[in-house]
Chain A
Amino acid sequence: MNPDPMINYAASALAGPLLLVLAAFACLLLPLFFKALRGLQGLVSLGAVLVALVFLREAPPAQLALFSGALQLSPLSSYLWAFAMGVLALFFALSIAKPPAPEESEGEYYFLAFMAAIGLLVMMAAGDLFTAFIALELLSLPLYALAGIRRSKPGIEAAYKYFMLGAFGSGLTVMGIAILNALYPSLDFAALKAAGPAGQLALGGFLLVISGFAFKTALVPFHMWVPDAYEGAPTQVSAFMGAAVKAGGVVLLWRVFSLFDGGPVWEVFWWLTAVTAVFANLAALAQNGLKRLLAYSSIAHAGYLAVAFFGGTRGWEAVLYYLPVYAMATIGAFAVTLILEKDEKGPKIDDLAGLAKTRPWLAAAMAAFMFSLAGVPPLAGFFAKFYAFASAVSGGYTGLVVIAVIMSAVSAYYYLRVTVVMYMKPPAASPEAPAAAGPAEAVVVLMALGVLLSGLFSRPLLVLAAEASRWF
């Protein structure tokens, strides 16, 4: 390809993230000088993300290394960026619907969110281990603050737990990277792959890096922060953590995973996956809070995503399809939670009693999200699981798939519980409707259409995912 289109491509691809940086500072600083802008940061941010999404127009089918290989732009990164920005836009829509932050910290809220998003974008396109780590920190630090933005007790507890365990995870990663840096001439993913089989010490380094990334993805036993963080953080932030942060972690884990072909690292992954699927689903059975339930469900889905790792290229294709499908169901469920919540910790499952009578459409949408998460056809979640498990079986990992399918039958029980409460229990004594939240309802409708249609008509999304996965 001749250089001019490449430069154009690089410019247009980077225009999106740059616009986000600009918008971040605009949200933080401009309202200080122009009073009229206060309270409008949400709309400005949403607008900026939508424009940035437009900038992500179809990339040429080529790989482009920027900043001496730190960023790798390709159709794969475009796909992931489009996904991340889409999630960001939904996150902003939910934040407009019910502002989570006190009025004086609105500017900080959107600034932090933008910074986290930039970290996520860099992480998804990172070409070497060190860039990935810096991006991970850029993603995590704002999120710790976002979790506690309300400065209330549950929020601070969430932020504190998230920070402590997150810092521990970062420490592990950095230790691992230090070891690897001493052993390998370059931390480039391609160079690491080319370096051949890892020695004993290098293996230790990789395992430390994997543990750190597993914290972000929330694989058991690195999941302890998830339920508390999801419960105490503002619901919008929990939705963002569930949908976007997990996606970033999955991308990184896959990068490390694909450096190997079998061997002890895969064995470790096998166990991480199996333990995650089993433990998360069993623990979810005992939850009473809706946000905690969704937290455990997100851990469980991290497990199903990791099953697809064992499926080679097809598995990666399945992961790329799984991420948006899971994000739609989980953002939708958090949006419903947001509409119904009366205090910070969100509603208990039993608070949904009689929702089918009081707000039938909301209940129907929630039921669709639950069945999709449970993987019942014809909803999109079933197709996602099908692709993930099919790839793993064809890779020869039937045992892992057997564990995963049995655990998804277990998961049906707790997802069903939500529908039971909504449809089969009488409404609670005081059926006063919470304040209308227009944008949140729009998000719910959009996500419900998504989980209903993107399964039965999964071909377009699957074609995109297949195209992107070829650029790994």
Chain B
Amino acid sequence: MELLTNPLSLTILLPAAAGLAIFAIPRERAGALRYFTLAATLLVFLVSLRLWTGFDPAAAVMQFVLDKPWLPAYGVGYFLGIDGISLLMVLLTTFLMPVSVLASFRYIKENQRAYYACLLFLEAGMVGVFAALDLFVFYLFWEAMLIPMYFLIGIWGGPRRIYAAIKFFIYTMAGSVLMLAAILWVASAQHAATGAWTFSIPALYGGALTTQAQFWLFAAFALAFAVKVPLFPFHTWLPDAHVEAPTAGSVLLAGVLLKMGVYGYLRLAVPLFPQAAVTFAPWLAGLGVVGIIYGSLVAWSQHDMKKMVAYSSVAHLGTVMLGAMAFEPAAVSGAVLQMVNHGLSTGALFLLVGVLYERRHTRMIEDYGGLAKVMPGFAAVFMIVTLSSVGLPGLNGFVGEVLILFGSFRVYPWLAAGAVLGVILSAVYMLGMYQQVVFGPLRHTENKILQDLNPREWAYLLPLLVFIVLIGVWPNPFLRRVLPAVDNYIALSKQQPAPPPASIGLTLGGKEAR
């Protein structure tokens, strides 16, 4: 029963159950399917609010912990719990879900039952990744999520959807399988050292591993997460997947899935293998900065709005990685906050592009212009979101970026300087796009009859705007909850592991001499 009384577990199980229950609704009843899904995701959001209200911001421990033995032979447990970092990620997920569902009402016309079932299963998987404190459970959710996302892109996506879906699946899976081997290795090393099997993440922190083993293990984890972030040069799946996915898919990809990569570094790769992490960190931060500049330059040259937003994600996540790899309180908490900010503002950008696409069936910047005259409401929302994305003071993006830049400047001054260049570039291309789409004369006659935002669209954009402004002017409630977790992360990254027993070594060949 604890499975259902624990709000964290309920946040995972409820959408999964709803995903199954939706098959009881006849497939022709489109309205019932939509409102059922909307109600379910709203209910999940309400349940997850219980996590916010019941969370003790001062405590530096995992909260809402649930630990049920699952596969005792391997010491695998259904072990859940959240700290400040995962709290924000879980809430971001449950918050973006009803938004995505509302945004799908008109766009999705075919096979709606399967579509909404995929969204619900996806939600269960995403929350599960952020809530898992057991490596096995984490990997399970991490991989299981691929299936619904693969179908979302491949069935309801754009013209090149099949290519994009396969690329997304294979890239992520190829990145992750080595992580599976590494997970098994960590657990068996722990087993060899202590005589007990466990996959519990906190129990594996500070495990006895040689420096060389740490190096390889960190590399395996880092590769899986680098693909997901995506870190340059592992980002090539992202533009395809983002552009071809349906609007809701893009929102969730950008808003939540990319965060899993950074979250993986924060929760697993760095704390599990701190010595290797310290060696790798400057390189990862450097790749982040390369991503900022590269992503911005490529975004600048795009004519397709969705592609531009997709590449801007590469740049934003590069900033986040720079912060996460600085091991400095301001930078890391800025990175966590920026993950939320990016989810909100990039999610909103994808929604706005979707709004235009539903009306005109084109995403080319040249096909628009002068929209301020026919769609004033849209222009206003677009303005706020664009400014949030480029980091205007008073809006959410500013807080995160400033924290990251200030914090990381103390550690990597040159890299931080490079990141500042990226911030400037992002203002150039984002504002450039805004100007071309919204201002100027109404060149195309088709655009003269465009409808402004309808109530449904307002309904899903307004909550995003509220948080964009709220975090901008009053970030403290969010940062306060993140800081203890960030301190933990930094402490873990500095710890010295116990000396490894001589009997364990990493072999790629025959049987290890024991």
Contact = CB atoms under 8 A, between A and B. Distances in A.
A408 B181 CA distance: 12
A420 B166 contact: yes
Most chain B beta-carbon neighbours within 10 Å: one of A310, A389, A394, A458:
A394
Contact of A389 (B150, B154, B176, B180): B180
A63 B151 CA distance: 50
A397 interface: yes
A405 B180 contact: yes
A390 B170 contact: no
A428 interface: no
Interface in A24-71: none
A124 B114 CA distance: 44
A424 B166 CA distance: 11
Contacts of B147: 371, 376
Given A395-B511, A402-B178, A409-B174, A462 B71 contact: yes
B73 A466 contact: yes
B235 interface: no
A360 B154 CA distance: 16
A187 to B, nearest CB: 27
Contacts of B144: 376-378
Contact of B177 (A394, A399, A405, A413): A405
Contacts of B39: none
A376 B170 CA distance: 12
Contacts of B477: none
Nearest to A399: B508
Given A405-B178, A406-B177, A406-B178, A397 B169 contact: no
A3 to B, nearest CB: 35
A398 B180 contact: no
A405 to B, nearest CB: 4
A371 B161 CA distance: 19
Interface string A248-285: 00000000000000100011001000000000000000
Contacts of B150: 416, 419
Contacts of A412: 169-170, 173
A378 to B, nearest CB: 5
Contacts of B512: 396
A390 B187 contact: yes
B20 to A, nearest CB: 11
B184 interface: yes
A389 B13 CA distance: 28
Nearest to B156: A424
Contacts of B178: 402, 405-406
Interface string A405-445: 11011001100100110011100000000000000000000
Contacts of B176: 409
A267 B506 CA distance: 18
Interface residues of A, number: 42
Contacts of B140: 377-378, 382
A228 to B, nearest CB: 29
Nearest to A357: B111
Interface string B157-195: 000011001100110011011101100110110011000
B154 A393 contact: no
- Give chain A's interface secondary structure class: helix
Contacts of B191: 394
Nearest to A405: B177
Nearest to A421: B162
A281 to B, nearest CB: 12
Interface in A372-394: 376-378, 382, 386-387, 389-390, 393-394
B170 A409 contact: yes
A335 interface: no
B181 A405 contact: yes
A424 B154 contact: yes
Given A406-B178, A408-B177, A412-B170, A420 B184 contact: no
B470 to A, nearest CB: 37
Interface string A435-472: 00000000000000000000000110010001000000
Contact of A416 (B166, B174, B511): B166
A406 B140 CA distance: 17
Given A377-B140, A424-B165, A462-B71, A402 B181 contact: yes
A401 interface: yes
B511 A397 contact: yes
B220 to A, nearest CB: 9
Interface in B473-501: none
A462 B70 CA distance: 12
Contacts of A378: 140, 144
B511 A377 contact: no
Interface string B99-142: 00000000000010010000000000000000000001001110
B255 to A, nearest CB: 23
B510 A266 contact: yes
A409 B511 CA distance: 25
A443 B180 CA distance: 32
A96 B169 CA distance: 38
Contacts of A389: 180-181, 184
30 contacts: A310-B511, A317-B73, A371-B147, A376-B143, A376-B146, A382-B143, A386-B180, A389-B181, A390-B187, A390-B188, A396-B507, A396-B514, A397-B510, A398-B185, A399-B508, A399-B509, A401-B184, A402-B508, A405-B177, A409-B176, A412-B170, A413-B166, A413-B170, A416-B150, A416-B169, A416-B170, A420-B162, A424-B155, A424-B165, A462-B73
Given A412-B170, A458-B71, 14 more contacts: A376-B143, A387-B74, A389-B181, A390-B187, A396-B512, A401-B181, A405-B177, A405-B178, A406-B178, A409-B177, A420-B162, A424-B162, A459-B70, A459-B72
Rank and list the top 9 A-B pairs by shortest CB-CB distance, nearest first: A396-B512, A399-B508, A394-B188, A405-B177, A393-B184, A409-B174, A377-B140, A377-B144, A409-B177
